[in-house]
Each structure stands twice: as C-alpha cells, then as structure tokens.
Amino acid sequence: MRALAASNNPYGIIPPHLLNRVIQRGNEQQRRRALTTLNLDDGFRGHAARRQADTMHESHAPDDGDSPQRHIFDARHGMQLPGEEVRSEGESETGDREVNEAYEDLGATWRFFHEVFGRDSIDNAGMALLGTVHYGHEYQNAFWNGQQMVFGDGDGEIFLPFTRALDVVAHELAHGVTEIAVGLAYANQSGALNESVSDVFGVMTKQYAAQQTAEEADWLIGAELLAEGVQGRALRSMAEPGSAYDDPVLGRDPQPGHMDQYVETEEDNGGVHINSGIPNHAFYLIATALGGYSWERAGHVWYDTLLDERLTRGPLRV
Ligand SMILES: [Zn+2]
C-alpha cells in the first residue's frame, strides 16, 4: 500500500517522508500510528488551538530579561492545546519525566541564546516559553506551532518521547528565531536553509550544554529519539549527511552533504529536511576547521548572517 500524505505541519521534527516510509514499510500498528500522526499534523494549525495559545501569551507577561519564563502543560494524551499547566518557572520538579525534560530543555535553549548571543528568548523580548507534553496518543512528532512547543510521546518502538532530545527542542525554538529574523520561505532552497539553521542552533545548544568542542561533539540530531532496535544513530548527521540511519522500516537517510547531490523533489516542501544536509555539512566543516567551541566563532557568523538585513526570505513557494 502506498499512502503519500502532505503535511501542513511544516515545523515538525519528523518530516512527512519519514512517516510515509513507516506507512509503507511498518507493521500494522506502526502504520496506524504514523498515519494518525500525519493526520494530526495536517490539522494542527486549527484556529481553536491558536486562539487558546494567544490567550496564554497574554496572560504570561515577559520578564526582566534575566531568566526564562517557562510554562509546561500536560495534554494528557488529548489534542487540546495548551492543556493543563503542571509546572511554571521556578517551581520544583514534578514526578513526570517528560514534564521535567521539557522544562530543562527549554531552559537550556534559553540560556544558550542568552549567554552566547545576548538574545532574550525567541523574540529577543522575553517571550514566555510554553511547552505541552503527552500530546495525542503515541504521537510521533514534536513541533513549534508559532506559539508554543508540542511534544508527542512516540510509540516506544520507533520513536521515544520527544522531550529526550535537547537539540530537537532547540531546533524547534530556532524556527521561531528564524521566523522573526528573516522568515526564510519554507520551500526548496530557502526552506532547506531554514531547516539547516534550526539544526545548526540545535546542535550548538547541545554542545554548549555539554561544553563540548567541535572535535568532541557527535554532530548528530535527535540521537536520543530512536528506540532500541532501530538501525540508526539519529535523525540526521551533520558530519556525514546520509549516514544517520539505514533501517528496514525507516529506510535510508536521504540527506546529501554537497550541492552536487542536491535532491530535486516535490516531497517535503521541496526536500527541506533532505537538502538541509548540504548547509549542515558546511557548518560542520567550518566549525571543525576553526576548532574550539562551535558557538564561539562559526556560531556568531551564522547568527549575525541570520540578523543581517541583506539576507532575504527567498522566493515565494512555487
Ligand atoms: Zn525543522
């Protein structure tokens, strides 16, 4: 059976082509979960959810710029956003692993942008960081919807809960930064750049939290997300694009690492999660050539470029 579905959830960390592979190759249950995730992704930009999130923003005023303002919600396996608030800034840990991971990951991302670039949250004006965990039932994705982070639990067979991976959380928040800074059009080459910028800031956030040099780092994205038994190391490899996984269900990592192998495709908004391997690898090459910590020099070049008014959003979707 071949079921190709387009997703309206462009910022999900798991791209539609990967879910489509699971639908084609997975067992009955895996196919059902992947299909449910794709269908949810299609509908997630519902106006009701957006209005609710807007209301949340109004009630969480920006702070003085010295600390993040985090609010973690539990969807309790439903799809109402943001769900019930279970931990807010300064409150102690709860007994729920995913709640605590979301809180810590949002904090580590805020600290990275603040301490390295002097940026106060996504909008550089203290925007509250909202995260909802336990979204849907075995939902196989995590996404930023323009207002907040949303995390699925995965199914435990292919994907683990999406709060496990700090780089994925930072990747999603970086989409918010890119959106505000330049709004790189999310298709074809500008879309692949948009995706890559998120991986670059995602991987730097992970390296910064671990205080790893470019040489010490693994340069993997989403290494903590693949369940045991999946034949792969991560969702993507910036050091060796195309080598992150090769699995009977997920297929083979389709990323090129050089412009000579640029993939022309209609899928995935023109291959935004595929061709992002090319600028990802460029960042890896520059950061390792410069040596030391990636964020100290290469990271500043990327950040300054993102904010440079000469950078344009690229052509509109064709
Ligand atoms: Zn993304």
The verdict on whether 114 is a catalytic residue reads: no
Check residue 10 and give its pLDDT: 60
Give me the catalytic one of 157, 172, 179, 195: 172
Q: What is the pLDDT of residue 43?
A: 61
Per residue in 59-76, pLDDT (tens digit) is 555 556 789 999 999 999
Annotation says 273 is catalytic: yes
Q: Which long-range contacts (CB under 8 A, 24 or more apart) does 14-18 make?
A: 14/140, 14/141, 14/142, 14/159, 14/235, 15/268, 15/272, 15/273, 16/41, 16/267, 16/268, 17/254, 17/267, 17/268, 17/273, 17/274, 18/250, 18/251
Looking at residue 17, its pLDDT comes to: 81
Could you give the residue range(s) of every CATH 3.10.170.10 domain in the chain? 48-180
Q: Cα of 175 to ligand 1 centre, how many Å?
A: 7
Supply the pLDDT for residue 12: 82
Q: What is the pLDDT of residues 201-249, one digit of tens each?
A: 999 999 999 999 999 999 999 999 999 999 999 999 999 999 999 999 9
For the chain, which ranges sit under pLDDT 50?
A: 1-8, 45-53, 55, 318
Assign domain 48-180 one CATH number from 3.10.129.10, 3.40.50.2000, 3.30.450.20, 3.10.170.10. 3.10.170.10
CA of 195 to the centre of ligand 1 (A): 5
CB count in 10 Å sphere of residue 43 = 11
Q: What number does CATH give the domain 184-307?
A: 1.10.390.10
| CA 156 to ligand 1 center in whole angstroms | 22
The b-or-e profile of 220-242 (16+ CB within 10 A means b, else e) is bbbbbbbeeebebbbbbbbbbbb
CA 92–ligand 1 middle distance (angstroms): 30
pLDDT value of position 318: 46
Task: Give the distance (Å) from ligand 1 centre to CA of residue 13.
Answer: 5
